[in-house]
Amino acid sequence: MKRADLDLIVALTRGRAGLKVDPEKIYLIESRLAPLARREDFGSIPEMLTALRERKEDRLAWALVEAMTLNETSFFRDREVFDYLASEVIPALARRRAAAGGASLRIWSAGCATGQEPYSLAMALDGRRGELGGVKVELYGSDLSERCMEKAQSGMYTQFEVQRGLPIRALVDHFEKQEEMWQLSPRIRQMVRWRRINLLADLTPLGQFDVILCRNVCAGLEDAARAKVLDSLSQRLAPDGVLVLGASETAGDGAFLPMAGLNGLYQPNPAARAAA
Amino acid sequence: MRTCLIVDDSRVIRKVARRILEDLDFEIAEAGDGMEALAWCRAAMPDAILLDWNMPLMSGIDFLRQLRKEPGGEVPQVVFCTVESGLDNIRQALDAGAAEYIMKPFDGDIIEAKFAQAGLL
């Protein structure tokens, strides 16, 4: 691949989504863009990039950026996070909201790829409605990739995907077999709403959330983009809300304080809020 | 070291599963059908059993039902590993006392994840 082509890919992915792309890892870039080039009827990746330069087609540029995102996910990835959220964090927040006269709890899985994370939470909460003090849980899933959101919305997964992390009891309780695929029950599908969201955009219109999961997303971002995303998320979180990052990720520079109990869980830092 | 009995009439499957489970620190025994598996279990109950469904002489589900009637037969954690991927099969397996269920084809990640789900890792 020519240097100019690599530069274009890096510039697009960095500029539009803050993604960290190593131009030395040509194999990785080619493996992600080759399926897009085929889908778009180009003979090769360079041919697609030439067309992109000539046509300056925004849709194709976004398709390229989306193809470069890492969509690694699985059901109940790091099982203990879901157990802890469903048994401790969410019931405690729900009781607090109920005591204050609130009727709902808003939970956002940001950068959730093909939707396994919010669906895992939906399944984990499904059997615990009695512990939520009558508070309605609203679950939202978002990703940069339109294709991922379409798949998430369908609730349709391959046999391979339902065998990664999903206990067999959950498969029996919540899925139906559709030929070679497995589809989540309408009851679980209806618990989650989906939207394509670029975390670098203005997130203010989304309102406030009680729990935000953004696990293993920031790790793929440039430093400046990561800082911007964490700052935006801190502003979307209720003062007593909880941010959930990947177990090995940290929330940076003082906007959040780590919670006891589990690695990767953070609460807004009241001192930082007061200063802001 | 914990023990796992691999029950499958395919020598190739047994060999692949053995390699994966040995990497997960299990000591392995092999059986080619349900009757042979019962003989192994009567001699010494393993901690885990990776169990095919369709086999000559005695199927996996018949073996599991018989196993649970044997003295000490409640001990092994049983993980089915089969091409049978219908919900009815899975429900039958769970009703008979299986802890987890793998639909073939499988790889090392799936076996590891399923054994972890079954509390075996």
Strand partners, A178: A181
- pTM score: 0.93
Contact between B117 and A171 using a beta-carbon 8 Å cutoff: no
Listed residue (B76, B68, B58) closest to B8, CA to CA: B58
- pLDDT 10s digits, A187-223: 999 999 999 999 999 999 999 999 999 999 999 999 9
User: Cα A95 to the chain's mean position, in Å?
Assistant: 26
Structural domain contains residue A260: yes
> Is B76 in contact with B48 (CB distance < 8 Å)?
yes
pLDDT band at A70 (very low <50, low <70, confident <90, very high): confident
* Percent of residues, chain A, with pLDDT higher than 90: 84
Q: Which residues of B touch A168 (CB under 8 A)?
A: 90, 94, 98, 100-101, 114, 117
Domain count, chain B: 1
Contact between B90 and A172 using a beta-carbon 8 Å cutoff: yes
Residues A85 and A199 in one domain: yes
pLDDT band at A133 (very low <50, low <70, confident <90, very high): confident
Q: Looking at A139-143, A267-271, B31-35, which range is the least confident one?
A: A267-271
Listed residue (A33, A53, A197, A221) closest to A112, CA to CA: A197
Write the DSSP assignment of B66-116 as a string of letters: HHTTSTTTTSSEEEEEES---HHHHHHHHHTT-SEEEESS--HHHHHHHHH
Listed residue (B46, B54, B45, B65) closest to B120, CA to CA: B46
- pLDDT 10s digits, B49-108: 999 999 999 999 999 999 999 999 999 999 999 999 999 999 999 999 999 999 999 999
Residues A109 and A45 in one domain: no
Contact between A165 and B113 using a beta-carbon 8 Å cutoff: yes
- What is the average pLDDT score of chain A? 94
Structure tokens of A42? 């180009």
- Predicted confidence (pLDDT) at residue A176 exceeds the cutoff of 90: yes
Range of the domain at B52: 2-117
- What pLDDT score was predicted for residue A56? 86
Residues A49 and A84 in one domain: no
Say if residue B105 is preceded by a cis peptide, omega within 30 of 0. Answer: yes
Q: Which of A15, A41, A67 is the last residue of a domain?
A: A67
Q: What are phi and psi of A82, to 5 degrees?
A: -70, -40
Domain count, chain A: 2
Q: Say whether residue B103 is in contact with chain A using an 8 A CB cutoff.
A: yes
Within 13 Å of residue A168, how many CA atoms lie on the same side as its CB? 30
- What pLDDT score was predicted for residue A129? 86
Q: Which of A41, A67, A93 is the last residue of a domain?
A: A67
Structural domain contains residue A120: yes
Residues A225 and A96 in one domain: yes
Range of the domain at A214: 79-275
Structural domain contains residue A89: yes
- pLDDT 10s digits, A87-115: 999 999 999 999 999 889 999 999 999 99
Contact between A167 and B86 using a beta-carbon 8 Å cutoff: no
- Between the alpha carbon of residue A101 and those of residues A53, A94, A97, A138, A239, the distances in Å are 55, 10, 6, 16, 17
